[in-house]
Amino acid sequence: MIQPGQFYAVSLGPGDPGLVTLRAQRILEEADTIWYPATVQPDGSVQSVALDILLECRLDETR
């Protein structure tokens, strides 16, 4: 039987990593999976403000 989990939606604010709340930081650090919006550019690169914030906050975005 599948155990029910928890889903959190975390706002990363207006784009300044210094404004991420302590609770949001803790939730992201403890999350098994992190999904974030991104746009794939014509050259194949990925553009994402959320990813930039995750990286600046030293969070593992590969989960």
The pLDDT score that the predictor gives to residue 35 is 92
Class of domain 1-63: alpha beta
The pLDDT score that the predictor gives to residue 48 is 93
Residue at token pair 């746009």? 39
Residues whose CB is less than 8 angstroms from the CB of residue 39 and which lie 6 or more positions away in sequence, other chains included:
46, 47, 48
Domain boundaries, the chain: 1-63
Residue-wise pLDDT tens digits, 37-63: 999 999 999 999 999 999 998 888 777
Rounded average pLDDT over 12-34: 89
Closest to 56 measured CA to CA, from 15, 10, 27: 15
